[in-house]
Amino acid sequence: MERIIMHVDLDAFYASVEELRRPEIRGKPVVVCVYSGRTEDSGAVATSNYLARELGIRAGMPIAFAKRAAKGKDVVFLPVDMEHYREVSERVMELLEGHADRFQQVSIDEAYLDVSDRCTESYPCAEKIAQEIKGEIKEQEGITCSIGIGPNKYVSKMAGKRRKPDGMTIVRPEEVTDFLKDLPVGKLHGVGGKTEEELNSLGIKTAADIATYGLAILENNFGKNKAKLLYDKALGIDDSPVEQKDKQQLSRIATLKEDTDDADRIYKKISELCSDLNKKLENKITFRTISLITIDTHLQTQTRSETIPEAGDACSVLPSYRILIDRFLSENPGKRLRRVGIRVSGLSYKNGKSKKEQKSLFDY
Ligand code: TTP
Ligand code: CA
């Protein structure tokens, strides 16, 4: 059976999330930075929204360069808030997983979904799922994503890159070679700058050139393994499976009824979150570290963690959460919280079975 694979990638992820929670910056160029703290402007750009990209500001650029490009313009610079992005990411990934037969998260904002079983060779079916996913992410999180659909992971990734932001590109098996042929070799996912130079020096500029050159001649220049890799990339061949992996951590976050610095109210919310998390743990997953996540009224996130003896019941560690809450409040007098969350990590899956295997055993 031919597979159908989907690649989902959130658009300008950190910047989109910041725009969403700070209405006052919408419509402006936004640059999200990792400040190293050495001097005021030392560090690098983590990402920029599409308006800032029009000014030439991109991920990886030193902040000082970005500031120069932004000079005289109303550009917003913000520090990264990883805890918050992780929270959004986890919710999106959960949503995506529900639409897949097999699911593989590959970064904070990217995942592959194998929909072969539920769509049995029907691209219209996959397209419908992709539209649903776009709608659900927009409705639930207020952000957009770009989706590529194809017969394997590599082609779906390449397809997703074709239209961004908020794009969708479908490449059916019979369209793969045409889709790839005119692309410069440097644009093929996984071909680095050095390989691009080597290929160019041989007169190989596009995917079609690689295919024409042929495997035998490529082997002379690149060795057997790399030649095959390049050849497959030019023709869109990729047999690698969508690999379901166990999660490393689980969390739950919620908004408090009103902003507060009252330990009892915070504790009450935390105990609700523990009960909710237990539904996910199902007595099948144990953890060794707990974390309290706090988001204050200025949207500043803090995390406090504690290593504990192995536990499987999120509510059994409530006394430890109480200590973390009291510690947070005494160290941050006057700070009121808007949202609170819990995270468990250092996870072990009972019987050493992966989550997917457990699911299928349970189904039997
Ligand atoms: P990307 O998916 O590469 O970029 P993006 O989501 O910001 O933009 P695009 O619309 O092109 O997909 O990366 C996801 C997040 O990872 C990004 O929002 C910030 C972070 N990141 C870094 O911190 N440093 C980097 O160098 C890159 C490339 C990304
Ligand atoms: Ca992205």
Q: What is the pLDDT of residue 352?
A: 56
Model pTM score: 0.86
Q: What are the pLDDT digits (tens) for 198-244? A: 999 999 999 999 999 999 999 999 999 999 999 999 999 999 999 98
Task: Give residue for tokens 């658009």.
Answer: 11
- Strands 5-10 and 110-114 turn out to be antiparallel
Ligand 1 center–CA 13 separation, angstroms: 6
With the most atoms of ligand 1 within 8 angstroms of its CB, the residue from 8, 13, 86 to mutate is 13
Q: Which of 138, 188, 142 is nearest to 162 (CA)?
A: 188
pLDDT bracket for residue 357 (50, 70, 90): very low
- The rounded Å distance from CA 15 to ligand 2 centre is 10
Catalytic machinery residues: 110
- Residue ranges with CB less than 5 Å from ion ligand 2: 9-10, 13, 109
- What is the per-residue pLDDT for 273? 97
pLDDT at 106 over 80: yes
Q: Helices (DSSP H) in the chain: which residue ranges? A: 13-21, 50-54, 63-70, 82-97, 116-119, 123-141, 153-162, 176-181, 193-201, 207-213, 215-222, 224-235, 263-281, 318-331, 355-363
The per-residue pLDDT for range 170-191, each reduced to its tens digit, is 999 999 999 999 999 999 999 9
Which residue among 19, 109, 141, 163 has the greatest number of ligand 1 atoms within 8 angstroms of its CB, and so is best to mutate? Answer: 109
Name the closest-CA residue to atom 11, ligand 1. 12
The pLDDT value given to residue 351: 66
pLDDT at 299: 86
pLDDT mean over 287-299: 94
CA 122–ligand 1 middle distance (angstroms): 31
